[in-house]
Amino acid sequence: MRTLADPRHRRGKRHSFVSVLLVACSAVLTGARSFAAIGQWAASAPQDTLARLGARATTVLNVRIAPSAATIRRVLNAACPGGLADLLGSDPAGADTLAVDGKSARGSRHGEIPAAHLLAAITGAGLTVTQLRVPGKTNEITCFDALLAPYDLTGVTVSADALHCQRDHARFLVEEKKAHYAFTVKRNQKNLHRQLATLPWEKASAKFYDRTDAHGRLETRVVQALTITDLGVDFPHAVQVAKIVRHRTQRKTGKRSRETVYVITDLASREASPERIAKIVRSQWIIENRLHFVRDTAFAEDASTVRTGHGLDNMATLRSFAINTLRASGHANIAAGLREMSYDGFRRPLDLLGLA
């Protein structure tokens, strides 16, 4: 069972840790975007709502007292961000795919201090599993193992962009996590990219064609796959490589472009046909389209200037939790789901969270 320690000193507590977290989760489900907004929601909550949230009761009149915005800010600034992300995230066990990608919180940039960078993992169903903040003076690569280490990933195919096409990552997933990988290979891995480009692609008999019309462009993808066990490709546990050629036409301008990328995986041809590889690659886009983009548009995350303590990390986790909760309850449009919650903002979020 996942637990999270109360970061406050045992003396001077007036509100329980759980009740403060429940207040924050409920308020964010109605669209609250800041500590001040969460505090305002709590201050406006009626007595029955505060009772359901476990808010503190006075000893004489049994009146429920909501935590103030300052208390909420202190708690969320101090709470362990990794623990909160694990507590509120979705369990990836049994998922088909898991995408890993990072995002910079633009509003956290302050003077010469760069914007904080958050690395997240999301299932193919669009449910966020966890996230962590990439420490300064390092990058996503060093955080990959720590992000996924706590989870049972047996049989799960983990996809990642070219930055994470690392030999150590491949060994970690296959040998330690008993998972699979599908990494994009670009020119940042010069030798590997050159080697894959010169494979005998003319012998690839397995192909898949796909076409989409979205975001103002028509895109056609051709996916070929080759088994490489006898072709001397130097990458841990690699069994198969896919070549994806993308042809794009901008509908507005008519401009055409072509891009070729390679995907290397430990999945054999019987486990991953070109069609399935195409699906795995598309699942990598989910983290951008169904998490990062939604947090930016529905919660204005890039405009948030929260930057002290662990507040930035934990507010991002609360937003991801709200998205998970709405999506799991059948809301395909998160902005519409937030509006629906706000129409009865002191009852519907609590019902959705199962608070009696």
Q: Do 131 and 169 lie in a common domain?
A: yes
pTM higher than 0.95, yes or no? no
Collapsing DSSP states into helix, strand and coil, what is residue 350? helix
DSSP annotation string for 48-59: HHHHHTT-EE-T
Domain assignment present for 101:
yes
Q: Do 341 and 266 lie in a common domain?
A: no
| pLDDT, tens digit (0-9, with 9 covering 90-100), for 170-218 | 999 999 999 999 999 998 888 999 999 999 999 888 899 988 887 788 9
Q: Give the model's pLDDT for residue 151.
A: 95
Q: Give the model's pLDDT for residue 97.
A: 96
**Which residues touch 304 (CB under 8 Å, ≥6 apart)?**
33, 34, 105, 107, 108, 312, 315
Mean predicted confidence (pLDDT) in 16-42: 97
DSSP annotation string for 282-315: HHHHHHIIIIIHHHHHHH-GGG----STTHHHHH
| pLDDT, tens digit (0-9, with 9 covering 90-100), for 293-324 | 999 999 999 888 887 889 999 999 999 999 99
Domain assignment present for 9:
no
Domain assignment present for 139:
yes
Number of other residues whose CB lies within 10 A of the CB of residue 47:
13
Domain assignment present for 164:
yes
Token output for 70 = 């300052």
Mean predicted confidence (pLDDT) in 279-297: 91
Q: Do 106 and 234 lie in a common domain?
A: yes
Domain assignment present for 97:
yes
Q: pLDDT above 70 covers what percent of the chain?
A: 99
Question: CA Rg, the chain, in Å?
Answer: 23
Describe the crossing of helices 81-88 and 311-328 by its angle, rounded to 10 degrees: 0
Domain assignment present for 301:
no
Q: Give the model's pLDDT for residue 1.
A: 40
Q: Do 59 and 100 lie in a common domain?
A: no
**Residue 222 C-beta-side C-alpha neighbours within 13 Å:** 9
Q: 111: burial class by Cβ within 10 Å (0-12, 13-18, 19+)?
A: exposed
Q: Do 75 and 92 lie in a common domain?
A: no
Q: Do 27 and 165 lie in a common domain?
A: no
| pLDDT, tens digit (0-9, with 9 covering 90-100), for 42-61 | 999 999 999 999 999 987 78
| pLDDT, tens digit (0-9, with 9 covering 90-100), for 84-124 | 999 999 999 999 999 999 998 887 777 777 788 999 999 99
CA distances in angstroms from 67 to 9, 20, 50, 179, 242, listed in the order given: 17, 7, 10, 43, 54
φ/ψ of residue 106, rounded to 5: -60, -35
Q: Do 288 and 228 lie in a common domain?
A: yes
Domain assignment present for 210:
yes
Domain assignment present for 4:
no
Question: How far is residue 212's CA from residue 189's CA, in Å, rounded to a whole number?
Answer: 29
pLDDT at 12 over 80: no
pLDDT at 40 over 90: yes
Domain that includes residue 332, residue range: 17-79+314-353
Could you give the number of structural domains in the chain?
Answer: 2
Q: Give the model's pLDDT for residue 213.
A: 85
Q: Give the model's pLDDT for residue 2.
A: 62
| pLDDT, tens digit (0-9, with 9 covering 90-100), for 216-241 | 889 899 999 999 988 989 899 999 99
261, 338, 282: which is closest to 28 by C-alpha? 338
Pairing label, strands 64-65, 256-265: unpaired
